[in-house]
A and B are shown apart, each in its own frame.
Chain A
Amino acid sequence: MSDLVLLGDEAVSQGAIDAGISIAYGYPGTPSTEIIEYLQEWKRKEDHSLVASWCSNEKTAYEAAVAVSMMGKRSLVTMKHVGLNVAADAFMNSIGFTINGGLVLAVADDPGMHSSQNEQDSRYYADFARTVCMEPRNQQEAYEMTKEAFHLSETLHLPVLLKLTTRISHSRAVVKRGPIREKKELNPSRDRHHWTNLPFLSRQNYEVLWQQRTELVTISENSDYNPLIIHPDNTDLAVITTGLAYNYYKEAEKELENKPSHLHISFYPMPEKKIRALAQRAKRVIVIEEGYPYVERFLKGILPLEIQIDGKLNDTIPHLGEINPDICRRALGLPVFEAVRPPIQDLPGRPPQLCRGCPHTDSYKALNKALEEYDHPVVTSDIGCYTLGYFPPHNAIHSCLDMGASVSMARGAAEAGAHPVVGVIGDGTFMHTGIQGLVDMLSAGNRVTLLILDNSITAMTGMQETIVDSSRIVEIVKGCGADPEHIKILKPLPKNLEENTAIIKGEIDYDGVSVIISARECVHITKKRLSKR
């Protein structure tokens, strides 16, 4: 079998294919998006029977995958780290279930917030749920670990969390494929007590899970994914790495004269015995970990106070952002290499911005114009390209919390007495978790203008098809109970500025919920169509 050049994300996809998955569900989110995209390409070219679908949000994706497992088949669910907040209810409550077909949740964290609103660490979710977490160091391991995760899911009857980070998700290297497993046949579980969360059943399931914890720790202690190398000559220092910090450490280690003992942790729950074995000779342990100081805090609980623990909690390692080779070198006391010349201090930044010809620019122009006459308008916004409306020259939005929050926050602001209040949300995000907020505000009869920026695509994450065709959004809005008189559709183009401004103004004056759909396709769709001709 020929070698493949794959992104870390794609290595997960290939691992899932070779582990014999039947179905993959996900919601797009940087840096996880390429997992499903690769599977969709695989479906087109290699295996029409594979299902690889975007869902309306992470929760629906995860729940559907649980049922695939219940039916005896293997399934993969993908999302970004904050997506797991949305799917958390389903994830946490599926842990007591007796997983039938392998169920693996691939979550991509974004330390450094390259394309996210926080850098939460998904290892905590695995811990919280009391299941296994695995974190690959490179693309080959991402491939192999995914296969192992499916195996473990079926032998332990647990959903397994596979944690990625931006840097491995979006880095390419050669991957060698290994043995391929067949897909599983439909074989529904008949044990309905395994799949029902009623308190009396949940108590039993939780007890099983509790008894299982020692088994998970034993697997972790013996796992090759947690390699421990003891250098008995160094009685001063020991090093623990997690995630990609392993790679940075391995390159820096060559320059260390007296090599410290080293434990790398890729498999959780924590291998406590290995940690003790590492630390027993050392006076000081440096923890270089990607994400939160998760291992570091655990160390504080199990190591004697005499052992100094260096990491994020005492600022040996920066607490914010991605680990990189230089952070690793500094922590080890190695000099940073001298550059060809000193950096130039006063270079202007170049933040991301809306593309030339973007329909959102025209929507924001009209909105700003319509709000000109008010001293304190409130514009709640949401997650998508249009969050860039925060920057000049737009300066158009006052908030962005999480997916769908523009709608619910608009309701809250209006009910608190603000006017005018405009919620701004994209079509994809509206389908994700915006609808519920609209139902709320319609039932309360708030004075809110909801502006749905419909560009017919999930653009920010790289042009994924939205879950429903844009033409149906107006029907959905009507179906939620919006007054058809106050559902307006406009086309955001420079030549329509006056007309669009007037429409928005008119609806702001309306004492109730009005919905304006500002519809023009993303310029990248237009470009793609024109280049195909």
Chain B
Amino acid sequence: MTYDIVLCGVGGQGVLSLAAIIAKGAMMERLHVKQAEVHGMSQRGGAVIATLRISSQEIFSDLIPEGAADMILSMEPLESLRHIKYLKKGGALITGKDPFLNIPDYPDEDRLYKEINSVPSSMIIDTKSLALEAGSNRAQNIVLIGSASKVLPIKRETFLKAIEDVFSRKGDDIVEINKKAFLLGRKS
């Protein structure tokens, strides 16, 4: 089994922690993992892409070929489409609903949603409302992981344990908020 994910968003949106938590879950299930990130200049409010490869066998490449990703997981709609060339036929496109507006020529949202919906296995998640419902606006990326978890080859319980591990040093309240965010995302 190999499962390849392209993760994207805008620098500062938490794309790297998104990748880190899924990678943690995969490793807890004793799968091989390779996670490529972007650091440095592009982190400053620019388009950010990371790749995560999960496999039961040894993985060679850090990068995913075009047309080979099983999933695109994006924090926001424009960025989800920027990397569409990587998504294989039958792959899942999951994105947060709210645009991240920091450029003057951001496209019309409805046009973006239409393009996203043209991909058969696509989901547009209202991460903001669900994160607020869970108790914190900052849990938007965990909501997204919850939505992705419906498709990812990692168990629900493993994710909850991974979230607990990652947030435990920030206190029980934060752990609970994030678990709730995950479950709300999973239900959406």
Binding site for B on A (CB under 8 A): 5, 7, 30-31, 33-34, 114-115, 138, 167-168, 170-174, 244, 246-248, 250-251, 324-326, 329, 336-341, 343-344, 347-355, 385, 388, 460-462
A337 near B90 (CB under 8 angstroms)?
no
30 CB < 8 A contacts A-B: A7-B37, A114-B42, A171-B62, A172-B36, A173-B32, A173-B59, A244-B61, A247-B62, A250-B61, A325-B61, A325-B63, A325-B65, A337-B66, A337-B88, A338-B67, A340-B119, A343-B84, A344-B84, A347-B81, A348-B103, A349-B103, A350-B45, A350-B79, A352-B41, A352-B43, A352-B45, A352-B46, A355-B44, A460-B41, A462-B40
A340 near B40 (CB under 8 angstroms)?
no
The answer, among A325, A340, A352, A355, for a CB contact under 8 Å with B42, is A352
What separation, in Å, do the CA atoms of A174 and B33 have in the docked complex?
8
B27 to chain A: closest residue by CB? A5
A336 near B42 (CB under 8 angstroms)?
no
A170 near B39 (CB under 8 angstroms)?
yes
Given contacts A248-B63, A339-B85, contact A348 B37 (CB under 8 A): no
Given contacts A339-B84, A341-B118, A350-B47, contact A30 B63 (CB under 8 A): no
**Minimum C-beta distance from B33 to chain A (A):** 7
Given contacts A171-B36, A172-B35, A348-B103, contact A353 B45 (CB under 8 A): yes
Across-interface contacts of A339 in B (CB, < 8 A):
66-67, 84-89
A167 near B42 (CB under 8 angstroms)?
no
Chain A at the B interface: mostly helix, strand, loop or mixed? loop
A7 to chain B: closest residue by CB? B37
What separation, in Å, do the CA atoms of A462 and B42 have in the docked complex?
11
B78 near A347 (CB under 8 angstroms)?
yes
Across-interface contacts of A460 in B (CB, < 8 A):
40-41, 44
A355 near B45 (CB under 8 angstroms)?
yes
Given contacts A350-B102, A351-B46, A353-B102, contact A340 B90 (CB under 8 A): yes
A-B interface contact total, Cβ < 8 Å:
154
A348 near B89 (CB under 8 angstroms)?
no
**Minimum C-beta distance from B114 to chain A (A):** 11
B40 near A30 (CB under 8 angstroms)?
yes
B34 to chain A: closest residue by CB? A173
**Minimum C-beta distance from A318 to chain B (A):** 14
A324 to chain B: closest residue by CB? B63
Across-interface contacts of B105 in A (CB, < 8 A):
348
- Chain B, 73-110, CB within 8 A of any chain A CB: 78-79, 81-82, 84-91, 93, 102-103, 105-107
What separation, in Å, do the CA atoms of A272 and B90 have in the docked complex?
47
Answer yes or no: B131 CB below 8 A from chain A CBs: no
A30 near B39 (CB under 8 angstroms)?
yes
Across-interface contacts of A353 in B (CB, < 8 A):
44-46, 102
**Minimum C-beta distance from A112 to chain B (A):** 10
A170 near B37 (CB under 8 angstroms)?
yes
